[in-house]
Amino acid sequence: MHTNQAKEQKQISQGLTFLLAAACGLIVANLYYAQTLVGPISAATGLSSSAAGFIVTITQLGYVLGLLFIVPLSDIVENRRLTVVSLIASVAALLAAAFAPHAALFLTASLFIGLGSVAAQVLVPYATYLASEEQRGRVVGNVMSGLLLGIMFARPVASFVASLWGWQSIFILSAIVIAALTLLLSRTLPKRRPTPEMNYGQLVASLGTLLKSTPVLRRRALYQASLFGSFSLFWTTVPLRLADHYGLSQQGIAWFALAGVGGAIAAPIAGRLADKGWTNLLTGLAMIIAAASFLLAYLFQSHSSTALGLLVLTAIMLDMAVSGNLVLGQRAIYTLGNEARGRLNGLFMSIFFIGGAVGSSLGGWSYAQGGWSLTTLIGLLLPVLAFLYFLTQKETA
């Protein structure tokens, strides 16, 4: 009877999986609303065009800090309470960004939006605690597809809302949505109180040991950092490209970003195929698809509608590669240890988000210095380097 109860407790319902997926998507979208709005935000806050990429970069850096110093708390603090406190901080930061009169305050608010948004990375390992071993790949795939849809829908939604009511409106709207979500999660989520084996100081100190002693984590994090760096570089610069080269309005950019959402279908598919043992093959394939997407963007640079159509294909291929590889990486690291899962996830995410922050900064610089050609060549180089590193892999990772 006791065994049956344990089995029942290890089954996560479809309703709760959907709620966690939707929550992760809504939370993590906050990191990306500014990405297609760098032009109007820069103009309103007095940032130069070369510093525009910093709007996205500082939010990602806030997220990295949260991953390193807040997410490890999920291994010692009750998870629901940690999620709720992080989301309250997010709501305050979103409102501060909406009403920021100058760049310094907007960038400070952006840093705190990043910090608060790590609630999503408390919820992802939390979902795996509730799932059985057999469900894990599928549950991670479904929750991550929610998170990735949030990342991908954030750009078109922000552009559409901004075209109607101005760039500040998306931050106000998100603050209302996150406040409602906080209330819902505080009443719906089961409590998960971990049994701490160490205090917070030891927990943070153990991050270095975990990284050093876990080659699978290092490898997976570097693979994803390279792909996410190229992804951030693309999405930081492509709105500028679409406006400068094709004369697209904010609404046109929104439609373009919406097309890229198709790439999120790779996440649940990758999760299911990984459960069948296809992880390594799919990892190499993700890197090849990402490199091929930038090769397309580099080769076809005319003003024609064909070149624009191929740029849409670039966006879909790149989003597929990044979302698929993310699920493969997370599934691999979640098999490494139970009590350290929050820290493993925090390390994995922080390393690849550093890659994203570097990609955003590189994108702003390369587009200002060498235009679209230089930008796409750097974008091509990142997955190629990841693939060369992948070829050195001996163990199953």
Taking only the tens place, the pLDDT of each residue in 76-104 is 888 889 999 999 999 999 999 888 888 78
Q: Look at residue 134 in the predicted model and tell me its pLDDT.
A: 67
User: What is the torsion angle, in degrees rounded to the nearest 10, for the CA atoms of residue 225, residue 227, residue 233 and residue 234?
Assistant: -160
> What average pLDDT score do residues 10-30 get?
85
How many Å apart are CA 273 and CA 238, to the nearest integer?
Answer: 31
Domains and CATH numbers, the chain: 14-390 (1.20.1250.20)
Q: Look at residue 77 in the predicted model and tell me its pLDDT.
A: 82
How many Å apart are CA 287 and CA 230, to the nearest integer?
Answer: 11
Of 15-19, 59-63, 96-100, 171-175, the one with minimum mean pLDDT is 15-19
Assess whether pLDDT exceeds 90 at residue 323. no
Listed ranges 137-151, 202-216, 258-272, 325-339; the one with the highest mean pLDDT: 202-216
* Ramachandran class of 247: left when φ > 0, alpha when ψ lies in -120 to 50, beta otherwise: left
In a 13 Å sphere around the CA of 333, the CA atoms on its Cβ side amount to 31
Question: In sequence order, which residues have a C-beta less than 8 Å from that of residue 273 and are 6 or more positions away?
Answer: 282
Assess whether pLDDT exceeds 90 at residue 70. no
Long-range CB pairs of 126-131 (<8 Å, 24+ gap) are 126/20, 126/74, 126/79, 126/83, 126/189, 126/192, 127/12, 127/17, 127/20, 128/334, 128/341, 129/192, 129/341, 130/10, 130/12, 130/16, 130/190, 130/192, 131/10, 131/11, 131/12
| More confident site: 22 or 136 | 22
Q: Which whole-number Å values give the CA distances from 61 to 173, 230, 326, in the listed order?
A: 23, 16, 19
CB 145 within 8 A of CB 21: yes
Assess whether pLDDT exceeds 50 at residue 58. yes
Closest CA to 119 of 198, 173, 186: 186
pTM exceeding the 0.95 threshold for the entire prediction: no
End-to-end CA separation in angstroms for the chain: 37
Closest CA to 330 of 259, 389, 275: 275
Assess whether pLDDT exceeds 70 at residue 395. no
In a 13 Å sphere around the CA of 353, the CA atoms on its Cβ side amount to 28
